[in-house]
Amino acid sequence: MSQDCPTCGNPIDGAPARCPFCDSPLSGHHAQSARATPAGRFHIVVNLETGRPTVEEALAILERRLDTARRQGVKVVKVIHGYGSSGVGGDIKQAVRRALPQYRSQGLIQDFAAGEEFTKRSAVVRRFPKLKDDRDVGRGNKGVTVVVL
């Protein structure tokens, strides 16, 4: 028996309890809660540019939104942090990209990919094929980072 994971869209053979690609529950009431993410999506967008926050405020917003997304069963968060007016990287971008390795080592996130590495062949897109349709795939957008929870 073959089915597609309702979260990541990968084909799954047999009847495992969890998706071998994204680790989402596949049976019982847990499968329903995994699909019951905001607007029925497996990923959300967090825009850290809204309201022109300070670096500290932006990091606090990011932490809160990642925590909320994790509790809602969201698997992927696209973080919009901008790339700075200089074109070499704004303060928020740099702070986010310094914080994410720490979040990963603390077990708060599984992985992340800079927008420059967010392509149809990237590991995050291979793991979550639904992301092929994201508007930033393959654009080399330095103002975003994709986070896997």
Q: HEC string of the chain? A: CEEECCCCCCEEECCCCECCCCCCECCHHHHHHHHCCHHHCCEEEEECCCCCCCHHHHHHHHHHHHHHHHHCCCCEEEEECCCCCCCCCCHHHHHHHHHHHHHHHCCCCCEEEEHHHCCCCCHHHHHCHHHHHCCCCCCCCCCEEEEEC
Of residues 1 and 136, more confidently modeled: 136
Asked whether the beta carbons of 10 and 21 are under 8 A apart, the reply is: yes
pTM exceeds cut of 0.85: no
> In the structure, what pLDDT confidence band is assigned to residue 7 with cuts at 50, 70 and 90?
low
For the segment 42-55, the average pLDDT, to the nearest whole number, is 87
The pLDDT of residue 16 is 82
Most confident of 1-15, 24-38, 68-82, 95-109: 95-109
Q: What is the CA radius of gyration of the chain?
A: 16
- Quick one: pLDDT at residue 86? 60
